[in-house]
Structures are given as structure tokens and as C-alpha cells.
A and B are shown apart, each in its own frame.
Chain A
Amino acid sequence: MPKYIRRSLLTVPMSSPLPEWALKAGSDVVILDLGPDTTQERQNSSQSQIAPAIRAAAEAGAEMFVRIRPESAWADLELTVWPGLTGIVLARVQSPEEVTEASQQLTKLEQHRGIPKGSLQIDAEIGSAMGALNSLDIARSSPRLCALTAGETSLYQNLQLAPEAALDQDPLRFIKGQILVNARAAGLQAQGMSYPLSITLAKADETQLKQAVHRARDTGFKGAVCPHASWVKICNEGFRPSQDELAYYVKVKEVFEDGLRRGLASVPLEGRMVDVPVYRRAQVFLEWGEACARRDKEKWRAAS
């Protein structure tokens, strides 16, 4: 079962207080985006406002992350790391050193700002060929790492691809597989879409989006960054076992356990073969379904 239920990661432009729509969207995660403005004046003025904004947002039910840009990493961290934050998204990571450096800075900030030591997580966003090649080393570079995210927009730019959204022709499928496998090899989970929809940054067609989310889940991604609030519900419902699957896995569990009582660990079910890995998957999917339901309840309680 995925360690973290983070099906929808809604990107929200940093402002204080955070806009009502963002807090009410129901996403598992809110990622605060600082935007292009990094001037000192803005930082000075907003520092005092950001801490309460983060606290308020965290109380609304979503886990809070902030997106840290490599070109202004220290300034971004100083500005945004306050109690209530779950972690940071490290944008366009190229090497393991960037992660260890950010981690050291997080340790300092934790110490100065009353945040439990080592609690802040890092979600490394891979957005370049170099990052993809180094993704296994990146995934192993810090105990703070929780996930690798396939940063499609950056990947498209770095690889100089034309944004053609066609479900069967995702030019990033090998690279996304690499990110996904290397994340998992290091014990992390991966976030992303198996479809270049997130580069459109727009309100997407619902049917298309549902299909894309389903594909992403079936490729192994545990959630996706949502550029628009309309994506949240579809991601929450798509990045989890469906009701039909859960019903099927209840049956798998039953026939396998019945087989075990007869000394068999390989039994047929509706033409398929059920053996140990299939049984284990049934257990995982059932647990995962329960964890998603718990998370939904938790958010619902926080919001009401």
C-alpha cells in the first residue's frame, strides 16, 4: 500500500490568506507556488503573512507543501518553512547533492522555528534528462524523501518536445517509467500522469482526464499534480482501487484462503490463476481502499 495517500496535489499561487477555492477543493495536498516574484521587498512583506496562511490551510485538511525553485532555494525556504508545513517540493532536481543541501537547510530551519527535527519531507520533482538519469541516486539521497514527481512541463522543455496530447503516444513514457521504478526501488512513491495533460494547465475534458488518471494509476503513479481545482475530485477518485476492484479482491482473498485450507497455493478464479502474489495484491488493494476512505473522512471532518 502506498505510504502516503496523496492522490491530488493542487498547485496554488502563494498569497495570504490563501484563496477560499483552494482550501475548499478537497485535495489531499496543496502545493504553494511562489510565482516569479522573488524581490526582497516582497519577501520581507510576506514573511509575516505566510506563517498564519500555512497554519490556516493545514487546518482545512490538506497536507501543505511548498515548491522550492533551484535558482532561489535558500530564499524560498526561509520565506516559507513554518510549522504546519508537511514538506517541500524540490523543483527540477538534477543531482543528489541538491537534495542533501536542501535537507541540511531544512534541519536548520526546523531547529530555529520549532518544527520537529527531521519531520519535513522532500518530494523531488524530476524535470530534465539529467534528473532522470540520476533519479536512482536522487531517490536514495535523503531519509526526508517521500516521493519522486515526474515534472512534465519541465521535461517537455528540457527535452524540447512539442506538446502533443495523444493518449497512446506519450513521448515521456520511458522516462516516466524510469522515474517510477527508481522511486520504488528506493522505497519511495511516484507522482505523475501517464499522459501529457498536465502541460496544458487548463480545465481539462472530464472523460479524457478520467482516462488519463486511470492510466497513471495503472502505470504505478500514486497521485498527480493538479494545475486546476477541477482535477481534484477526479484524481481523488481515480488514484485508488475502484469499488469493482475491491469487490473482486474480496473474492480473490476468499478463494485463495479456501485453497490454503486444501493445501493449495495456486487456485483458479474466473479463468485467472490466483497464487501468492495475486493474493498479496488483494490484501494490498483492500488496505489501500480503506486508507483512502480514512483520508477522505479525515479531510471531511477538518473541513466541516
Chain B
Amino acid sequence: MTRVNRSVMFVPINNPRFVDKAWTRGSDAIILDLEDSVPMSEKEKARALVRETIPKVARSGAVIFVRINKEFIKADLEAAIWPGISRVILPKAQTADDVRLVDALLTSLEKERGIEVGAVEIFPLVESALAVANSYAIATSSPRVKVMPDGWGYDTSLDLEIEMFAGFDQYVYIREEPTLAEIAAGVEAMGGPYIPGTTGKVDQKEEGKALATALHDAHIHESIILHPALVEPLVAGLAPTTKEIDWARKVLDIYERLQQEGESVAEVDGKVIDIYEYRNAHELLEWAASCAAKDRHKARAVAKAQSEQGSASSPSVNSKQT
């Protein structure tokens, strides 16, 4: 199945209130955070929690990631790499060597702990001017890097000493340069569109919808979020709509018929149908099928978890009908 991580939700692992509720949020993916939401004094305690937390949060059928600390790479990986963790978020990656170090440690941990070698992905966060400048080297540093963000974020804005939410598109180069580098490197780019915003509030459902629309229009399938209120708009908004699916099916039909007739271009409802549209339609249908499969998988997992839990409060689950 194609990777389906429409919403990738941060959960501070040291906050039991957030951890206990995480599985009820309907997110496609969950990041157990050992980094910026955990104070220095709690790092060791947080590390020790990973192994027992994985099955707790995975009850919803979400895939589970972990964000480690740049200054405690070895200790964090040793505590966190267990079956069930499918991706390591490497913050503040500055050079290709940062990624290679994580790669080597993962390989030995995978061997040691019965995980298929190479199965755990690395997701390097581009969080400084230097990382933006090195983004091609970072994107090509390891086959474990499958998908990568742009440089937009709190840490880069701190590095440049600017406010995040200025109300205009201040990060043109910071979003686009890593995106170009990633595409050139054959890595899935998950950054790009500019979403106007001045509040910086993390729980804004409306902004979540605008974000989803912009990402979907740019054919981007993933988004990292800080608040559960954004799960629903992203899970719904990044999956193709029924209308898009119907149109894509029509495009396939028309294009295949065209080919039988020895033609390659037609105009239907004022739209040009050609090889480009045909490929887009193909991709869209594949993505729709993957989203539907993910939704079914999550629904089954939640039903199972609920029956195990007996008559406990029923969580709201976001599943999209396709």
C-alpha cells in the first residue's frame, strides 16, 4: 500500500493526558516526541516510555513515528527503535553526515531487534539556513529518506531571527529550494504551498481546511500538525473527493478510447484530455484507493480496540467514504 500519512500528529510523550487520548483522534500517523515538547530534565523518563507507549497509541491503526533529539541520537534510538516504529524524525539535520549517523545506528538496531533492515525511514527536518543550503546533500544521504519537508518552521525562523506569522510569503526560497532539491533527488517533497496566516494559533480548524486544500492542489499527501483539531480537515481534505474520482475514471475511459481510435488529445467539458491528464487520473485513483484502504484499516483497528475496552467512551473516528 502506498504510504498514507495525511495527518502526522505530534504527541508529547511525557504528557499522559495527550498520550491516552491520542488513539481517539483518528490521525493517520502519530509522532511520539522526545524533543522540543520534553524539558531537558525529563528526557530520560520520556525515553523510557517509548516502548510501552507504542501499542497504546497504535490502537487506532495509526503508524507510529518518533522524534529524537539531535544531541542524544544514540540514547534516543536505543530507547525508541522497537517493532511498531516506522520512521525516525531527525530534527535539525544540518548535513548528510547527520543522516548517515542515524542510518548506521538504525541498521544495527534493526538487526538486533528483529526488524527488517532498512524498514525504518528517516525524515530529516530542514530547520536552519545551513540545512536549506545543504538540502540536496541531505535528501541524497540515505535510501531511508523517502519523504522530506521544506525549511519552513519555528526553528528556521529562529535561525533567521524572524517571526513565523508575518502575514505575507516571507519564506519563498526556504520553501522552494529544499523542494527543488528533493524532487531532483527523487525524494517525495511534502512542502511547498504558502498558507496565509497571522495568528500562529495551532487549533484553527478553518486554517486546517485551507492548508488541506492548498496541499491537495499541489499533490502533496502529508502534513505535520501540532493539534488534534487539524486531524479531521487533513484526513478528509487530502483524500480525493468523489467528484475528483468520478472525473478521473471518466478521463481513463475517454483516453483509452482515444488510443483505440489512434488519437491522443480530446476536449471534454472544456477540458483537454491528454497523456498528462491521463497520468494524473491514474495517480489520483491510486491515491484514492490507498486512502480508502487506510480508512478501512483504521476503522477496523478502532472497532477492535473499542470492543476490547468494553463500553468505554466511544472515540470519534474520521473515516472518509469513497
Contacts and interface: CB of A to CB of B under 8 A. Distances in A.
Nearest to A271: B201
B105 interface: no
B132 A181 contact: yes
Contact of A185 (B38, B42, B129): B129
Interface string A179-198: 01111110000000010000
A219 B15 CA distance: 35
A284 interface: yes
B230 to A, nearest CB: 12
Nearest to A218: B166
Contacts, number: 113
B155 to A, nearest CB: 5
Interface string B21-35: 000000000000001
Given A185-B130, A266-B37, A278-B154, A218 B162 contact: yes
A270 to B, nearest CB: 8
B119 to A, nearest CB: 30
Given A245-B163, A277-B158, A288-B161, A185 B133 contact: yes
B12 interface: yes
A272 B164 CA distance: 11
B36 A281 contact: no
A177 B39 CA distance: 33
A275 B37 contact: yes
Contacts of A184: 128-130, 159-160
Interface in B37-62: 37-42
Interface in B175-218: 176-177, 199-203
A288 B14 CA distance: 33
B158 A181 contact: no
A179 to B, nearest CB: 9
Contacts of B168: 168, 215, 218
Measured as residues with beta carbon below 8 angstroms from the partner, the interface class of chain B is 35 or more
A275 B42 contact: no
Given A174-B173, A215-B170, A260 B39 contact: yes
A277 B155 contact: yes
Given A272-B200, A281-B158, A174 B172 contact: yes
A165 interface: no
Q: Which 10 pairs across A and B sit closest by C-beta, in order of nearness?
A: A177-B173, A184-B129, A220-B160, A271-B201, A266-B37, A218-B166, A185-B133, A277-B154, A265-B39, A185-B130
Given A215-B170, A265-B37, 19 more contacts: A2-B161, A136-B133, A173-B169, A176-B173, A177-B177, A181-B174, A182-B133, A183-B129, A185-B128, A185-B129, A218-B166, A220-B161, A222-B161, A259-B39, A272-B200, A275-B154, A276-B35, A277-B157, A288-B161
5 contacts: A181-B133, A181-B173, A184-B130, A277-B157, A281-B154
Interface of A: 1-2, 136, 168, 173-174, 176-178, 180-185, 194, 215, 217-220, 222, 245, 259-260, 263-266, 271-273, 275-278, 280-281, 284-285, 288
